[in-house]
Amino acid sequence: MGYNMANKTVIITGSSVGLGYECAKNIARANEGWFIIIASRNKERNLIAVDSIKKETGYDDIEQMELDLASFQSVRKFATEFKAKSYSPLQGIICNAGVHYKKETVLTKDGIEATFGVNHLGHFLLVNLLLEKMTPPARIIFVSSDVHDPTNKTGMPNPKYQKPYDMAFPKDKIISESTGPMRYSTSKLCNIYCTYELSGRLNQQGINTKQKPITVNAFNPGMMPGSGLARDYNSFSRFMWKYILPVLTLIKPEVKTTKQSGKALARLLLDKELIETTSKYFDGYKEKTSSIDSYNKENALELWEESVKLVNLKQEETILKL
């Protein structure tokens, strides 16, 4: 039997499986009055996730909405439908969904390279469209990764920030073994640029105040073998990722299960001590400095301004001054 006491809403992207699913489950278990929206592209998987969380936690205030971050039209439709419904006040957006393509260049429905398009642009548009519906105290969380930092020996190529237009429409359609992973690590750097730039804009424009905080933070879940990020790998790599590498969670602290990281991610939404914490990078439960490059304000500003153009965001669509 559910509690049906929701007085605030959180949207979690990519939450039908993996990290987002575990995060949603932990929020449900906390029983703190959150109406949880599972926002992913596959309705059938969404419904399975909703039913599973309800059965496992006994918490009924959870619903699914279809959201395809690889389509600006879908993002706009989601925002319109959300605004039209009588949900409890929106106080949380967790930008968790992510893709990683290793074999070939994949394009979104808008013709944009999908790693950059989904991991950054889709979330950028979603958050801007929903800012007007956010009711303080509210929290926005971007799921990044330690692969954004070259000093971390993750086995992934270092990020390579370029002009946003060039990341959206790369010339190298035929990619090498390292191109796809490099695009992924770069998109995770973009998540942090977006975190810091959005937080700064909310502060500068008087939208985030101590009396009415809307905070923005980035989160590193750590390496999570068994999660869905290896779906584009070859069969041997997928087998290693799913069955062999999870053993590392027993001996390497930087390697986590989705359950462990899901709990840490939920904490960024639930912890009352973080109500005013903004523009920070969390490695699991710990606040840390992000990479040296991630504090490049010129890159962050350029990424923001060019992203506005790439998603065709209009001034009337967001409460921020663009």
Q: What is the CATH number of domain 8-317?
A: 3.40.50.720
Per-residue model confidence (pLDDT) at position 5: 76
Per-residue model confidence (pLDDT) at position 55: 97
Per-residue model confidence (pLDDT) at position 293: 98
For the chain, give the secondary structure using H, E and C. CCCCCCCEEEEEECCCCHHHHHHHHHHHHHCCCEEEEEEECCHHHHHHHHHHHHHHHCCCCEEEEECCCCCHHHHHHHHHHHHHCCCCCEEEEEECCCCCCCCCCCECCCCCEHHHHHHHHHHHHHHHHHHHHEEEEEEEEEECCHHHCCCCCCCCCCCCCCCHHHHHCCCCCCCCCCHHHHHHHHHHHHHHHHHHHHHHHHHHCCCCCCCCCEEEEEEECCECCCCHHHCCCCHHHHHHHHHHHHHHHHCCCCECCHHHHHHHHHHHHHCHHHCCCCCCEEECCEEECCCCHHHCHHHHHHHHHHHHHHCCCCHHHCCCCC
Per-residue model confidence (pLDDT) at position 82: 98
For the chain, residues with pLDDT lower than 50 are 1-3, 227, 230, 233-234, 236-251
Per-residue model confidence (pLDDT) at position 255: 61
User: Which residues are designated catalytic?
Assistant: 184
Per-residue model confidence (pLDDT) at position 230: 47
Domain boundaries, the chain: 8-317
Summarised one tens digit per residue, pLDDT across range 194-219 is: 999 999 999 999 999 989 999 999 99
